[in-house]
Amino acid sequence: MASLGFTAGVKRVVTVFAAGAAALTLAAPASAAPFPATTWKVTPTSPTPLPVKMTNSGNVVWTLGAFQLTCTSATVTGSFIGATGNPAQIGTFTAGTWGPTCTSPLGPFSLVHVGGWKIWAKSYDPVTGVTDGYINNVTLNWTGGSMKFTVIGKMSVKYTNSTGALAVTPLPGELSVINPVNCGALFTTATKPTLKATYLVKVTNTTTIPKIVGS
């Protein structure tokens, strides 16, 4: 009989523990996750569009097959703006400089920004303040000695509100080469460039970091 009483007591403890665990589980707040926002707010809200300037943090490194190009200095200017939709265009980069020259095993190359590169937002993480998106309409003319070609396409990006860091990491196949001249087999229309770069964004002529918030 004592054994039966002990067993019943254990069952009661287990039952109470399980009920308590279930209550804790139910009470725990749901963790936030990135979501496909449809309304995008940019701050400061004035002026509109908000002029921005971004400079590299660390080297900007391009890889084209076995070839690698390193730029130690880079500056891009443009603007951010609030928008609706998904994806939503939240800005444009209108000018950029890399260098004055960027170095490679084949010698220096110059890169020339062409046209307006459009910035699009897709998802927002309210916990980290990170916006995922991409830049499209990318057109960048390359010249190295007698070699010339143009890189076009899009680049996946992540923007972090707390630091103003724009991480640029194009996925394989997002960028391509067109119009190669005197490039032989080194750069062809089959070449798929990739890029590793982080830029720090500030409101032009200030130290203010712009914020992008999706809802």
What is the number of structural domains in the chain? 2
**pLDDT beyond 80 at 14:** no
Residues 162 and 78 in one domain: yes
Residues 86 and 139 in one domain: yes
Residues 62 and 13 in one domain: no
Cα separation of 13 and 31, whole Å? 30
pLDDT value at position 99?
87
pTM of the model as a whole: 0.84
Give per-residue burial for 95-124: e unless 16+ CB within 10 Å, then b: ebebeeebebeeeebebebeeebbbbbbbb
- Nearest C-alpha neighbor of 138 from the set 83, 78, 187: 78
pLDDT digits (tens, 9 = 90+) for 61-119: 999 999 999 999 999 999 999 999 999 999 999 999 998 879 999 999 999 999 999 99
Residues 112 and 12 in one domain: no
CB under 8 Å to 154, separation ≥6 — which residues?
Answer: 134, 135, 136, 137, 138, 170, 174, 175
Residues 26 and 43 in one domain: no
Region 108-135 average pLDDT? 97
Residues 8 and 63 in one domain: no
pLDDT digits (tens, 9 = 90+) for 39-65: 999 999 999 999 999 999 999 999 999
Residues 58 and 24 in one domain: no
Q: What is the DSSP letter of 26?
A: H
Residues 63 and 93 in one domain: yes
Residues 117 and 45 in one domain: yes
Query: Is 37 or 28 the better-scoring residue by pLDDT?
Result: 37
Residues 22 and 80 in one domain: no
The two structure tokens encoding residue 146: 């007698």
Q: Which of 8-17, 103-112, 176-185 has the lowest mean pLDDT?
A: 8-17
- Nearest C-alpha neighbor of 131 from the set 141, 120, 140, 143: 120
Cα separation of 196 and 101, whole Å? 17
pLDDT value at position 2?
45
**pLDDT beyond 80 at 135:** yes
Q: Which domain holds residue 17?
A: 1-30
Residues 87 and 6 in one domain: no
Side chain identity, residue 70? T
CB under 8 Å to 167, separation ≥6 — which residues?
Answer: 157, 158, 159, 160, 197, 198
Residues 93 and 178 in one domain: yes
pLDDT digits (tens, 9 = 90+) for 145-161: 999 999 999 999 999 99
